[in-house]
Copies of this chain bind each other. A is one copy, B any other.
């Protein structure tokens, strides 16, 4: 049904104008100029005809209903125009007009009115304060922006109208084709998530790109975006940082997982590729639309000059990709065909004097080589061959194989023809070879995500619901974790020196003593922990020292915790945080007291599958350390993965927990132990 925004049968332009300085002029001009095939009905009470079309004084005067109304009248008239649309049985409207919530309270009031009318008549709205929609295949251009991209298979959803205008202008110059484009404006009704679904389902769209400053509904986004990513590549550019993360938080997890982290985690979970700049977004989109994904991470570089190849190789390695080793067969073939002084290793340098024929032979050999997953073809400017001929042979040769090829025909003045050919033949070109690395990395990331999704097996720990809920309500975190198969070391609380001694001998030495106090967040800050207590004397001394320290720091002491001392393990942090947008998140990283300082943590959206837990671990230094580091033995990563998965389900099962943090979680040679746990409930759920 929302398809009427892109493929309506007929359109009314309310506020159509003959004055080229009015937006209503631009909308009508674009509909006509870019060959909208249905009927167009200008509405303007001061004219009887515009641009050769009969004009109607009001929507109510239209001869019949239409699929779509584009409204370009001053803000104060929009509500009544929409009311007319409702009466005329029009169910889709793009409100281009500005002057709403972006200008202040009166505007917000008007938006509420709009929504009321829309609901009354069952009208879906894009805008207000937007640029409208483009469908190059329909074709439809309901915007007032000059220019229309060529037909192509990239869809673009934007929360900024200016970005749409910039992209149209850039695409026209660069010869990059688009399928559908939409600018969403103030999003009072249709949001970016609905558009993700709509444009994702469009048959002409092979890649969806989006510029988003925020997400309207995190849960819905998680669903729709991962649904989209399964079918088509989805590239997102996130603009603007939310200040929400700045509110006071007491746990490490809270301080470490800001809103930006949550967005990135959400993108990662859904397979959306997060570009850092506009240039990167469209570099990636072109390659993903035009080229197959690489099967592995081994890249070959083919060049006619050393310098640019070195920059490409540096960037490839920095991106975490590898250089193909090349087979002996390839090397000896190259040796027999290329100039004597050429380089037959990767990067393959055919030297400045080589033209399209030599490039063809070398590229064919590389694409045939089983150690090559992708090829970057660089041509530094030279004086003997037209760049266009290289473009032709690269496109033709690449077409014979199922491996991605990225071109970097360098220069600006002399290469326009070459770029036109490359883009027509669906080979992305980058002006500087370094950019090829970022493209190939994005493609590899998408491949990895698709493989992960394929292998994903949901795991759900079985915990009796009523028992768990009671433990949550009583904030018995240690017991709750135990239900989720995350054990804690044996421990007892003691309120007197004598109790402490008794408890210690019951638990058996060595033990650890920890100050208990409602008022202390970080025990080490006030020197409230004693470890390696091996005898009654040690315990008595520790009791006295901790009591003194507490009174010195003016801290109320609610006894101490006596805990079995574990063998030396890896100290990691595992935390639950609830993001306003995306719900429960799991944080993992280096634990201990310096955790906020080193910020060696990573976050993922709950629940986790096994591979997500593994990726989370491996993306931190703590994770690398688990393989064995100095005097610490290699740790039980399997139990850790299990614990992360359990925590993630705990987070999903108990939305009333606002934060829960194990720091440290000891990862031993065998098993994990929650040594220190702290949690809190959302307000009102205690």
User: Contacts A144-B383, A307-B160: A278 and B434 contacting too (C-beta < 8 A)?
Assistant: yes
Contact between B383 and A26, CB atoms less than 8 A apart: yes
Give how many A residues have a beta carbon under 8 Å from the other chain's beta carbons.
Answer: 77
Contact between B308 and A166, CB atoms less than 8 A apart: yes
Contact between A162 and B308, CB atoms less than 8 A apart: yes
User: Contacts A169-B381, A413-B170: A631 and B307 contacting too (C-beta < 8 A)?
Assistant: no
Contact between A411 and B145, CB atoms less than 8 A apart: no
Contact between B162 and A239, CB atoms less than 8 A apart: no
User: Contacts A169-B410, A413-B169, A598-B600: A383 and B146 contacting too (C-beta < 8 A)?
Assistant: yes
Contact between B522 and A630, CB atoms less than 8 A apart: yes
Partner among B278, B351, B625 whose Cβ is within 8 Å of the Cβ of A311: B278
Does A361 sit at the interface, judged by CB under 8 A?
no
Does A241 sit at the interface, judged by CB under 8 A?
yes
* Stretch from A43-51, A97-105, A200-208, A328-336 that touches the partner: A97-105
Task: List A499-550 residues whose CB lies under 8 Å from chain B.
Answer: 522, 524-527
Contact between A162 and B432, CB atoms less than 8 A apart: no
Instruction: Report Cα–Cα, A655/B624, bound state, in Å.
Output: 37
Write out, one digit per residue, whether chain A residues 331-361 have a CB within 8 A of any chain B CB (1) or not (0). 0000000001100000000011000000000
Closest B residue by C-beta to A522: B630
Does A474 sit at the interface, judged by CB under 8 A?
no
User: Contacts A103-B340, A277-B432, A630-B525: A307 and B169 contacting too (C-beta < 8 A)?
Assistant: no
Does A621 sit at the interface, judged by CB under 8 A?
yes
CB distance from A474 to the nearest CB of B (A): 30
CB distance from A182 to the nearest CB of B (A): 14
Partner among B102, B162, B524 whose Cβ is within 8 Å of the Cβ of A341: B102
Does A619 sit at the interface, judged by CB under 8 A?
no
Contact between B432 and A165, CB atoms less than 8 A apart: no
Partner among B98, B144, B413 whose Cβ is within 8 Å of the Cβ of A147: B413
- Chain B residues with CB under 8 Å of A26's CB are 383
Contact between B598 and A630, CB atoms less than 8 A apart: no
Closest B residue by C-beta to A238: B314
Task: List A272-288 residues whose CB lies under 8 Å from chain B.
Answer: 277-279
Contact between B413 and A352, CB atoms less than 8 A apart: no
Copies of this chain present: 2
Contact between B527 and A277, CB atoms less than 8 A apart: no
CB distance from A554 to the nearest CB of B (A): 15
Does A450 sit at the interface, judged by CB under 8 A?
no
Does A629 sit at the interface, judged by CB under 8 A?
yes
- Chain B residues with CB under 8 Å of A458's CB are none
- Chain B residues with CB under 8 Å of A352's CB are 161-162
CB distance from A565 to the nearest CB of B (A): 16
Contact between A383 and B145, CB atoms less than 8 A apart: yes
Closest B residue by C-beta to A176: B412
Contact between B412 and A213, CB atoms less than 8 A apart: no
Contact between A380 and B144, CB atoms less than 8 A apart: no
Does A52 sit at the interface, judged by CB under 8 A?
no
Does A60 sit at the interface, judged by CB under 8 A?
no
CB distance from A667 to the nearest CB of B (A): 15
Contact between A525 and B412, CB atoms less than 8 A apart: no
Closest B residue by C-beta to A211: B307
User: Contacts A166-B380, A341-B98: A621 and B598 contacting too (C-beta < 8 A)?
Assistant: yes
Closest B residue by C-beta to A131: B352
Instruction: Report Cα–Cα, A163/B380, bound state, in Å.
Output: 7
Instruction: Report Cα–Cα, A306/B185, bound state, in Å.
Output: 11
Does A304 sit at the interface, judged by CB under 8 A?
yes
Contact between A166 and B410, CB atoms less than 8 A apart: yes
Does A305 sit at the interface, judged by CB under 8 A?
yes
Contact between B160 and A305, CB atoms less than 8 A apart: yes
- Chain B residues with CB under 8 Å of A563's CB are none
User: Contacts A383-B146, A413-B172, A598-B600: A162 and B305 contacting too (C-beta < 8 A)?
Assistant: yes
- Chain B residues with CB under 8 Å of A317's CB are 241
- Chain B residues with CB under 8 Å of A415's CB are 169
- Chain B residues with CB under 8 Å of A413's CB are 147, 169-170, 172-173
Contact between A411 and B169, CB atoms less than 8 A apart: yes
- Chain B residues with CB under 8 Å of A240's CB are 310, 313-314
- Chain B residues with CB under 8 Å of A304's CB are 162
- Chain B residues with CB under 8 Å of A211's CB are 307
Q: Can you identify 16 A-B contacts, CB atoms within 8 angstroms?
A: A21-B384, A103-B341, A145-B383, A146-B414, A147-B414, A160-B308, A162-B308, A163-B305, A166-B381, A169-B410, A173-B413, A174-B412, A239-B314, A240-B313, A597-B629, A598-B598
Sample of 16 more A-B contacts, CB < 8 Å, known A162-B308, A594-B629, A598-B621: A98-B351, A102-B341, A147-B414, A158-B307, A160-B305, A160-B306, A160-B308, A162-B305, A162-B381, A165-B382, A170-B412, A172-B412, A172-B413, A240-B314, A277-B311, A522-B630
